[in-house]
Amino acid sequence: MNHEEAARKLGVAPASLTPAPAAPRFAETWARMQQEPPYSACGQPSRTSGVIHDPEHGPRWLDRCRECFLATPPPLRRPLSQAITDIREAAAEVGLRAVLYTDEDGRQVEQSG
């Protein structure tokens, strides 16, 4: 999910977040992460930072702790089926046996090698 969706899911009010640059450079985001600002939803030190764009409040930093980040993962850059195919092919190429799991219940979906 994107940053805006993550903020909504976690119940974070944009007004409570620190103003941010509209399009921060990687160095700016990295510097923010190094500060480990407390995450506004739970107070834990943040481990990741991004920017939400709220129509009413403008760009704001969304800093998430580890648990909240894992609860609101970023979108995959490619479909899961393609990622599985790529991993399977890479494993076969180097002669490794790969067993891939894709859900919390540990359902095995792909085996190669």
In this structure, are 7 and 42 located in the same domain?
A: yes
In this structure, are 67 and 84 located in the same domain?
A: no
Span 89-110, pLDDT tens digits: 999 999 998 887 766 555 555 5
Angle, CA of 43, 31 and 12, to the nearest 5°: 35
DSSP string, 44-107: SBPSEEEEEEETTTEEEEEEE-HHHHHHSPPPPSS-HHHHHHHHHHHHHHTT--EEEE-STT--
Q: Domain range spanning residue 11?
A: 3-71
Number of domains in the chain: 2
Is the pTM higher than 0.75? The answer reads: no
In this structure, are 18 and 65 located in the same domain?
A: yes
Q: Is the dihedral of CA 28, 48, 5, 13 positive or negative?
A: negative
Span 43-87, pLDDT tens digits: 888 888 999 999 999 999 999 988 888 888 877 778 878 888 888
In this structure, are 49 and 101 located in the same domain?
A: no
In this structure, are 98 and 67 located in the same domain?
A: no
C-alpha 13/C-alpha 52 separation (Å) is 11
